[in-house]
Amino acid sequence: MENYFPILMFVLVGVAIGVLPIVMGFLLAPSRPDAEKLSPYECGFEAFEDARMKFDVRYYLIAILFILFDLEIAFLFPWAAIFKDIVATESIKLFGFVEMLVFVAILVIGYVYAWAKGALEWE
């Protein structure tokens, strides 16, 4: 049981750090609600459009492309972290480099394709 005590302390401190500011804010913050603050919008004027309006598909397309290329770039970090080991090992020196060149080439082809199709254009 004593092996699990540090884990229990870690969990308790984590919960305290998450809950304590919320409780302190609830107890210490002044509460002066008025009609304007209790309204659905605090911007000072009534909503003039439906909150469920349709977004342009290009918005979603750019968001998906960002996530896609961001994740693909994240695959470069582990390779860069072990690049010194790859270069030091004679048997995989060329293979490790060519493998990443193929990966980057596929990434560039996808980027050029998206650019050529106009997926990155915003009017």
- Helix/strand/coil (H/E/C) assignment for every residue in the chain: CCCCHHHHHHHHHHHHHHHHHHHHHHHHCCCCCCCCCCCCCCCCCCCCCCCCCCCCHHHHHHHHHHHHHHHHHHCHHHHHHCHHHHHHCCCCHHHHHHHHHHHHHHHHHHHHHHHHCCCCCCC
Domain borders along the chain are 57-116
The pLDDT score that the predictor gives to residue 41 is 62
The pLDDT score that the predictor gives to residue 63 is 85
Residue by residue, pLDDT tens for the chain (123 residues) are 788 999 999 999 999 999 999 999 999 988 888 876 676 665 555 666 666 767 677 778 888 888 988 888 888 888 888 888 888 888 888 888 888 899 999 989 988 998 898 888 877
The pLDDT score that the predictor gives to residue 46 is 60
The pLDDT score that the predictor gives to residue 40 is 66
The pTM assigned to this predicted structure is: 0.51
- As to burial, measured by CB atoms within 10 angstroms (0-12 exposed, 13-18 middle, 19+ buried), residue 96 is middle
